[in-house]
């Protein structure tokens, strides 16, 4: 549940009674949308609104006292509102959170001095002052809107997603298990640029985690528990018992390290050390983590898992890391995404555990059990790629939305056919700007939340395809 600080703007020579009714209505809408509120009591100021220097101080002190639980601020303008009081309340609170500016619509039949709002104009003044103060803010889809509409409810949920992404990414802890595979220069990244945005990377040598698994007995309670979890998660009937036990031990070692270090997501070396020297692929374990909203990326792609985690936060549903992999016949707006795979099972129509057909040709089938294979079910999705740009000292991202289709395809691994409007333009952008072949995806439409969070509040160079 998101918690928003609420500022009801007021300006005395406009009808103050609109603040009373407006405050009541906005609180009802927030409650209906399952959003908690920190707001001045109705008797703390005139109708609990913020207009004067003293009002702004009261509001700022309240927000400061509740800073730990406030994810964002909603400014609502039932009338024109006092732009200085709004800006001062936010500045003095010391909060560095997203801010949504909402303005009520006027009723054409109520345009006398008694009932005219002028919020249409007041919103511009508030935005102007926030920009002067250096306070970043978000806007509703339309300039003015009644709170009691589906459109405003959608605005609130989009903003709540923005708040989640900003809050968590600014204090994110990622785990890199193993070195970058030598054949994958594409997954290079800058720890320093990520740290500058609040994203910390903890590293672990693959030899350490394999050493921990070597000390475990098949009879260990934790190993048995993880084995049961794997068997309940996916069909393992066609898989020999030994590799599944090995997966369980590896899973216990990963879980313990993640918990010890307070990690939010992981990226794991796979190709091909784990297969050669341990005898399994980690895909099932990664799929399980991703499906429980703790994303895990393969090939130690830390920048890729940043995109996955951002999507998870925006959508509150599992994210996958995919390859932009193939064209789909002659349709220039369709293509194929693929991985070996470690996709979360919520992505699939049907799935099962299998062996990794590509690596098996190098290390043998018996060393490659553990993939989760199947076809991605049809439906909308949002994609995101984050990349650190060492040459220019910045973080870049692109985002957009598309649809997984039910077009026919006979292949292996985890795969899906997708449709994206003006796909060729997107592919040109990816190649011209040197982005990686990996892309994160979530089965929801949350591109607007992500664009606001990454581009506006985190300050990353963000391209929104199709907008």
User: What does the pLDDT read at residue 313?
Assistant: 98
Give Cα 309 distance to the centre of its chain: 5
Inter-residue contact 97 to 53 (CB < 8 Å): no
pLDDT of 115 > 80? The answer is no
What is the average pLDDT score of the chain? Answer: 96
The domain in which residue 320 lies consists of 172-464
Based on the fold, state whether residues 178 and 86 are members of the same structural domain: no
| Phi-psi group of 69: left, alpha or beta (phi > 0 → left; psi -120 to 50 → alpha; rest → beta) | alpha
Strand boundaries in 47-109, DSSP class E: 72-77, 99-103
The residues, ordered by sequence, that sit 6+ positions from 28 with a Cβ below 8 Å of its Cβ are none
Based on the fold, state whether residues 347 and 297 are members of the same structural domain: yes
Q: Look at residues 169, 185, 218 and tell me which one is the last residue of a structural domain.
A: 169
Based on the fold, state whether residues 297 and 383 are members of the same structural domain: yes
Range in 111-120, 166-175, 229-238 the model is least confident about = 111-120
Assign residue 148 the CATH number of its domain.
Answer: 3.40.50.10940
Inter-residue contact 107 to 148 (CB < 8 Å): no
Of all residues in the chain, the percent with pLDDT exceeding 90 is 91
Q: Look at residues 169, 198, 227 and tell me which one is the last residue of a structural domain.
A: 169
- Say how many Å lie between the first and final Cα of the chain, rounded: 29
Structural domains in the chain (count): 2
Radius of gyration of the chain (CA): 25
Q: Look at residues 169, 199, 217 and tell me which one is the last residue of a structural domain.
A: 169
Question: Tell me: the pLDDT tens digits for 433-461?
Answer: 999 999 999 999 999 999 999 999 999 99
Assign residue 231 the CATH number of its domain.
Answer: 3.20.14
Based on the fold, state whether residues 16 and 139 are members of the same structural domain: yes
Based on the fold, state whether residues 353 and 341 are members of the same structural domain: yes
Inter-residue contact 306 to 174 (CB < 8 Å): yes
Based on the fold, state whether residues 161 and 245 are members of the same structural domain: no
User: What does the pLDDT read at residue 107?
Assistant: 83
Give residue for tokens 């994810």. 71
**pLDDT grade for 309, boundaries at 50, 70 and 90:** very high
pTM check: above 0.85: yes
In degrees, rounded to 5, the angle at the alpha carbon of residue 40 between the alpha carbons of residues 38 and 43 is 145
Give residue for tokens 């605005």. 155
Question: What span, in angstroms and rounded, lies between the C-alpha atoms of 370 and 360?
Answer: 12
- Specify burial of residue 308 (Cβ count, 10 A radius: 0-12, 13-18, 19+): buried
Range in 227-236, 264-273, 372-381 the model is least confident about = 264-273
Based on the fold, state whether residues 12 and 52 are members of the same structural domain: yes
Question: What span, in angstroms and rounded, lies between the C-alpha atoms of 372 and 51?
Answer: 58
Inter-residue contact 363 to 275 (CB < 8 Å): yes
**pLDDT grade for 183, boundaries at 50, 70 and 90:** confident
Based on the fold, state whether residues 159 and 199 are members of the same structural domain: no
User: What does the pLDDT read at residue 16?
Assistant: 84
Based on the fold, state whether residues 291 and 425 are members of the same structural domain: yes
Based on the fold, state whether residues 165 and 209 are members of the same structural domain: no
User: What does the pLDDT read at residue 375?
Assistant: 97
Question: What span, in angstroms and rounded, lies between the C-alpha atoms of 322 and 324?
Answer: 7
Give residue for tokens 């405050």. 23
Question: Tell me: the pLDDT tens digits for 131-163?
Answer: 999 999 999 999 999 999 999 999 999 999 999
Based on the fold, state whether residues 31 and 157 are members of the same structural domain: yes
Based on the fold, state whether residues 87 and 111 are members of the same structural domain: yes
| Phi-psi group of 48: left, alpha or beta (phi > 0 → left; psi -120 to 50 → alpha; rest → beta) | left
């Amino acid at each position: 549940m998101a918690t928003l600080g609420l500022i009801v703007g007021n300006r005395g020579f406009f009808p103050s009674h609109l603040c009373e009714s407006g405050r009541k209505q906005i609180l009802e809408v927030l409650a209906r949308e399952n959003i908690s509120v920190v707001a001045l009591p109705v008797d703390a100021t005139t109708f609990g609104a913020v207009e004067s220097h003293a009002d702004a101080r009261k509001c700022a002190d309240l927000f400061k006292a509740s800073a730990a639980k406030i994810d964002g601020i909603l400014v609502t303008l039932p009338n024109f509102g006092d732009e200085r009081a709004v800006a001062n309340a936010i500045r003095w609170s010391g909060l560095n959170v997203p801010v949504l500016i909402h303005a009520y619509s006027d009723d054409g039949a109520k345009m006398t001095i008694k009932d005219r709002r002028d919020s249409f104009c007041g919103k511009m003044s508030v935005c102007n002052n926030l920009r002067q103060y250096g306070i970043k803010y978000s806007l509703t889809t339309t300039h003015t809107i009644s709170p009691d509409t589906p459109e405003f409810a959608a605005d609130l949920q989009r903003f709540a997603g923005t708040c989640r992404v900003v809050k968590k990414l600014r204090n994110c802890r990622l785990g890199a298990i193993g070195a970058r595979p030598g054949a994958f220069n594409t997954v290079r990244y800058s720890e320093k640029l990520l740290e500058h945005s609040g994203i910390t990377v903890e590293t672990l040598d693959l030899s350490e985690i394999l050493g921990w698994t070597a000390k475990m007995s098949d009879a260990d309670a934790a190993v048995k528990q993880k084995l049961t979890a794997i068997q309940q998660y996916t069909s393992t009937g066609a898989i020999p018992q030994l590799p599944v036990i090995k997966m369980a031990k590896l899973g216990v070692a990963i879980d313990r390290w993640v918990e010890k270090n307070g990690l939010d997501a992981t990226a794991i070396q796979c190709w091909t050390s784990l297969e050669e020297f341990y005898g399994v692929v980690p895909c099932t374990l990664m799929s399980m983590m991703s499906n429980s909203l703790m994303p895990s990326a393969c090939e130690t792609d830390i920048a890729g898992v940043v995109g996955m985690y951002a999507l998870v936060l925006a959508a509150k549903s599992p994210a996958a890391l995919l390859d932009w992999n193939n064209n789909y016949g002659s349709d220039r707006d369709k293509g194929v995404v693929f991985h070996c795979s470690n996709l979360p099972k919520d992505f699939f129509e049907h799935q099962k555990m299998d062996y990794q057909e590509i690596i098996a040709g190098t290390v043998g089938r018996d060393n490659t059990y553990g993939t989760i294979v199947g076809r991605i079910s049809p439906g909308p999705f949002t994609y995101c790629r984050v990349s650190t740009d060492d040459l220019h000292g910045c973080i870049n991202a692109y985002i957009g939305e598309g649809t997984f289709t039910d077009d026919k395809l006979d292949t292996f691994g985890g795969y899906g056919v997708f449709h994206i409007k003006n796909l060729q333009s997107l592919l040109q952008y990816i190649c011209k700007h040197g982005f990686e072949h990996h892309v994160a995806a979530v089965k929801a439409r949350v591109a607007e939340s992500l664009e606001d969070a990454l581009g506006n509040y985190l300050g990353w160079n963000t391209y929104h395809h199709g907008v």
